[in-house]
Amino acid sequence: MRNAADRLKFIKPQEPVLVETPPVSDDWLHEIKYDGFRTQVILDWAGARAFTRTGIDWSKRYWPIVTAAEQLKAKSFILDGEVIAPEPDGRPNFQAIHSRMAWNAELLAFVAFDIIHMNGEDLRQLPTIERKAILWDLVKPAEGIIQYSQHVEGGGAAVFEAAEKMGLEGIVSKRQGSPYRSGAKDEAWVKTKCWDMADLDLIGIKRKAGQRTEGLFAREGKYVGKAVIAATDVIKDRLWKRVQKAKAGPPDGVPTAEVTADVEWVRPGIKASVRTLRGERKLRHASVQDIREE
């Protein structure tokens, strides 16, 4: 009799490396970067399960996805993908994921972008483009709860431009001939993220000799992170004088690690336009584009 030890095990996922611009040579393929939760769906002799990026079993939360996976025509597989909350036009709505998990899990979808095991065979050494062909044969027509991540070969700049215009988070580019390297950040997979402009409240300035001047920011009273103040010395000096006149203590909600002696805290009244990577919960690779007083 089989036991739990015989079941297929979670495999650490391969992670893409963040780059500024997408590769443009023809040996790459490009996919949409879905704004959701990285998920691994495993089917074996005892049924299907769904695991988070770190290997936590979320099968109960994703029960419709698990049920749909058990209908696919294979004895066993390990699929890599993203759980999303799709809007009617297909675009993912990250803010809706938690409520759907709690109340409407049937409105979630699993977008499969790789297959790393099937019917007893480890597929990780196969080229990416071959694994995607195997994946398509398994999940087609890939509509509804289990979807297929379409790709475009070559033309990375055009794919990225289209993603930006559609308001998507970005794209992931993969070398067509690369194997799957589980648990690794490998430059055979790279992600290029789109940018957003955010209108934020300046709550403090961090400056230290020999280092970049940074602003600390909040949105609707909630701390969202730091951004480089890439302004002229004249603007920085004017801003610093404004800060000196409006000194305050650290606002509520700022992480303890950010409350340091080299931060000058500011009373409300200074707004900034901040350029930051799209789809991040906190500011990332952010820079101040404009500062104004209310």
pLDDT for 231: 63
CA distance 84 to 104: 13
Mean pLDDT across the stretch 230-249?
A: 65
* Strand 214-219 versus strand 195-206 pairing type: antiparallel
The per-residue pLDDT for range 186-198, each reduced to its tens digit, is 899 999 999 888 8
Check if 33 is active-site.
Answer: yes
The per-residue pLDDT for range 20-40, each reduced to its tens digit, is 899 989 999 999 999 899 999
Exposure string of 111-149, with b = 16+ CB inside 10 Å and e = fewer, is: bbbbbbbbeeeebbebebbebbebbbebbeebeebbbbb
pLDDT for 248: 63
* Strand 146-148 versus strand 109-118 pairing type: parallel
Among 124-128, 149-153, 184-188, 261-265, the minimum mean pLDDT is found in 261-265
Positive or negative torsion for Cα 193, 198, 203, 207:
positive
Residue entry with tokens 């990577």: 277
Q: Is 203 left (phi over 0), alpha (psi -120 to 50) or beta?
A: alpha
Pick from 65, 14, 75, 18: which is nearest to 43 by CA? 75
Q: Where does the chain show beta strands of DSSP type E?
A: 15-19, 28-32, 37-44, 47-52, 77-84, 109-118, 121-122, 146-148, 152-153, 170-175, 185-193, 195-206, 214-219, 222-229, 247-248, 263-266, 270-277, 287-293
Domains in the chain (CATH in brackets) are: 11-193 (3.30.470.30), 196-293 (2.40.50.140)
- How many residues appear in the chain? 294
Examine the pLDDT at 149 and tell me if it is beyond 80.
yes
Examine the pLDDT at 171 and tell me if it is beyond 90.
yes
The rounded percent of the chain whose pLDDT value lies above 90 is 52
With a CB cutoff of 8 Å and minimum separation 6, the contacts of 22 are 28, 30, 156, 157, 159, 160, 171, 173, 190, 192
Give how far Cα 206 sits from Cα of 248, 265, 289, Å: 14, 9, 17
Task: Say which of 9, 12, 33, 222 is annotated catalytic.
Answer: 33
CA distance 222 to 66: 36
Pick from 222, 204, 43: which is nearest to 139 by CA? 43
CA distance 188 to 186: 5
Its pTM surpasses 0.95: no
CA distance 6 to 185: 29
pLDDT for 185: 85
Amino acid at the residue 90: G
The per-residue pLDDT for range 67-111, each reduced to its tens digit, is 999 999 999 999 999 999 998 888 888 888 889 998 999 999 999
pLDDT for 220: 86
Q: Give me the residues paired with residue 16 across strands.
A: none
pLDDT for 247: 61
Mean pLDDT across the stretch 223-230?
A: 86
- Output the DSSP codes for 198-228: EEEEEEEEE--TTS--EEEEEETTEEEEEEE
CA distance 279 to 169: 5
Among 110-114, 134-138, 246-250, 284-288, the minimum mean pLDDT is found in 246-250
